Amino acid sequence: MRLNDLRVSLHFSLREFECPCCHRVRLHPLLLVRLEELREAWGRPLLLTSGYRCDPHNARVGGVPKSAHRLGLAADVAVPGEDQEAFVLAAADAHFHRILPHCDRGYVHLAVDAGAS
């Protein structure tokens, strides 16, 4: 076992959300609840390509300075371009506050708003 090797919900481990450079992690419970809801509706595993990002990592990958990834409020999910339209609808049904498809890059950015619920 290693750091963050911990199941935090039915389908996700804390490790999937950690920053790849420093293994630090912040995860808002609301993000996890929404992802589980989406996982159930989508019916297939969700591969996270980015969860929490520390400031240096966020800068390296070209994230905006106020990125929700820095706060544990966002995750990017690998989705093939041809499935993104259906995935975006499923994410809207799962009540994500921000859904940004990146068809050409094969992922969808999902974020929750901690101020809402």
For the beta carbon of residue 81, count every other beta carbon within 10 angstroms.
Answer: 13
Q: The tokens of 94 are what?
A: 């799962």
Nearest CB to Zn ion, comparing residues 70 and 109: 109
Helix (H, G, I), strand (E, B) or coil at 9: coil
Give me the phi and psi of 5, to 5 degrees please. Answer: -80, 75
Helix (H, G, I), strand (E, B) or coil at 112: coil
Nearest CB to Zn ion, comparing residues 7 and 98: 98
| Least gap, CB of 114 to Zn ion (angstroms) | 16
Nearest CB to Zn ion, comparing residues 19 and 91: 19
| Least gap, CB of 101 to Zn ion (angstroms) | 11
Nearest to 44 by CA among 14, 81, 77, 71: 77
Q: Which parts of this chain interact with Zn ion (CB under 5 A)?
A: 19, 21-22, 54, 57, 76, 109
Nearest CB to Zn ion, comparing residues 8 and 61: 61
